[in-house]
Amino acid sequence: MNDMSDEKLQKVLARAGLGSRREMERAIADGRVTVDGKKATLGDRVSEEARVALDGRQVKLTPPDSVRGRVLIYNKPDNEICSRKDPEGRRSVFESLPRARGERWISVGRLDFTTSGLLLFTTDGELANRLMHPSSVIEREYLCRVMGQTKEENLKALVDGVLLDDGVARFTDIVDGGGEGINHWFYVVIMEGRNREVRRLWESQGLQVNRLKRVRYGNIFLPPKLKAGQWMELPAEDVNKVYEMAGLAPVNKKTKVAKKQDAKPRGKAVRCRAGRKQR
């Protein structure tokens, strides 16, 4: 079994299910973490013997190859935020999730307030970090309704790449989803999770997205029977596939799946509707 000597503190805290690496970095910077009784600083590394506490509560440290987190699929409705709290009092996606005793659910990326569809949650901060990191190169597929006259040159530009405020962005796939009048449906795929990326890409062509729904994250599809506001927990064999998708070795450790399951997994993943091969 691998030990955890010389590991970054935020990585160890994330693996313990206390939040994502970024959240743990903020906790360290805010002075909420101690190591062996002393206030931790960013850049600290810890061994398996270290005494680590967050907000005064001791953290149970776990070796890297002994943990497999739980994974949930949530069908986010419109008008829910992806933060845990909101000064405006809007409903949070976390309010609909089951309790994770001794752990906490970590959102794998976010969706805008008015964007619906597939959200992944896990109790493993390292898994969440890998799934969100650009180096993982994981496809995100969206169904969007676009208002305006869409021309072939618009679609070509969106695939070739356009310059946005934060750099060049593109759709790796676009498939016509049908529609009449000024509203038309498209399936699109992006490889990153930049803020409002899908909407901004269409806006670069003078077009507006008035409905947006994520339907796939990597090899995980939104189950058709999972209604808006419902969640389901993935069984162990599908959790292992998520780990493999993130480039992490699956752990042969049974995890208890929540009793409530609103739908069953959709079976084997298929590629984007953009004429790619099925698998």
Cβ neighbours of 136 (radius 10 Å): 14
Separation CA 269–CA 197 (nearest Å): 24
Separation CA 178–CA 145 (nearest Å): 9
The DSSP string of 128-161 is HHHHHSGGG---EEEEEEEES---HHHHHHHHH-
Is residue 59 within 8 Å of 46, Cβ to Cβ?
A: no
Task: Identify how many contiguous H helices and E strands the chain contains and give both numbers.
Answer: 6, 17
Q: Nearest to residue 188, comparing CAs of 206, 201, 204?
A: 201
133 φψ region: left (φ > 0), alpha (ψ -120 to 50), beta (else): beta
- 95 SS3 class: helix
Among 65, 112, 238, 262, the one annotated catalytic: 112
The yes-or-no answer on residue 112 being catalytic is yes
Which active-site residues does the annotation give?
Answer: 112
